[in-house]
Amino acid sequence: MTDVLCKWLNEKLQLSKVIEPQTIAQDFSSGYLIGEVLHKYELQNDFSLFLKKDTSIAKVNNFSRLEPTLRLLGIPFNINTAQELMQEKPGVATSLLYQLHVSLEKKMIAKISRTMMEVMQPAAIASLHKKEHELFRHGLEHDRKILAQIMSSQCQSLNRWPVIPPIQKKKNIETECTDFHQDRDCLVVDSLPPPPRPPTLEKPMASTPTITQLESLEYS
């Protein structure tokens, strides 16, 4: 089914982005490409107001504009589905695209425009959809603000952690007694020659006794 959808999106509709089976959840998480699909069938008149960004504000804007069109097509779409699309939950985008593919192809064959669909809709149903749309839009905006507050508080808590200064290495005493010079990309350390040893003191030799001293020793 994924291959059939990619062929429909890439070859028939020729979206602004080439869709790959493994990136469907990511590609449709902002709602922009869903709006482009509906715009190709001339059902999304305000597509110029869609935001081609991946921010929470862009997602709320895009999905709030998509919701009335999807309801008009008879495709179930609520806050939970929108949140799952934003969170790139596997299978959600594929399921929605499949429903879009079936519904849009039927509308194209029957040549039913958006204006005809709105006129054919009973007044009571249209009024109900309008109220549901307001609830949907406020719900998305409320969730976005809560998420922004949570992220802000997390950032503030991270900023409160004390900054630990880097550990400074002890200076090597031998380094203080060396000369440094740059050799290309390496720092070469040349040790200074050791200090000269003090001269060795020789013991004084006894003086040679005289003849007189020897004779006095013999008679003593």
d(CA 99, CA 165): 58
Residue with tokens 């890439």: 10
pLDDT at 197 over 60: yes
- In contact, 63 and 140? CB cutoff 8 Å: yes
pLDDT digits (tens, 9 = 90+) for 99-148: 999 999 888 877 777 777 766 666 656 565 566 666 666 667 766 666 56
pLDDT at 164 over 60: no
Q: What is the pTM of this model?
A: 0.59
For residue 122, CA distances in Å to 45, 117, 127 come to 21, 10, 9
- In contact, 59 and 31? CB cutoff 8 Å: yes
Rounded (10°) angle between helices 123-159 and 79-86: 40
Residues in the chain: 220
Handedness of CA 171, 175, 176, 182 (dihedral sign): negative
- Of 88-97, 107-116, 138-147, 160-169, the range with the highest mean pLDDT is 88-97
pLDDT of residue 173: 43
pLDDT digits (tens, 9 = 90+) for 5-34: 999 999 999 999 999 999 999 999 999 999
d(CA 197, CA 49): 89
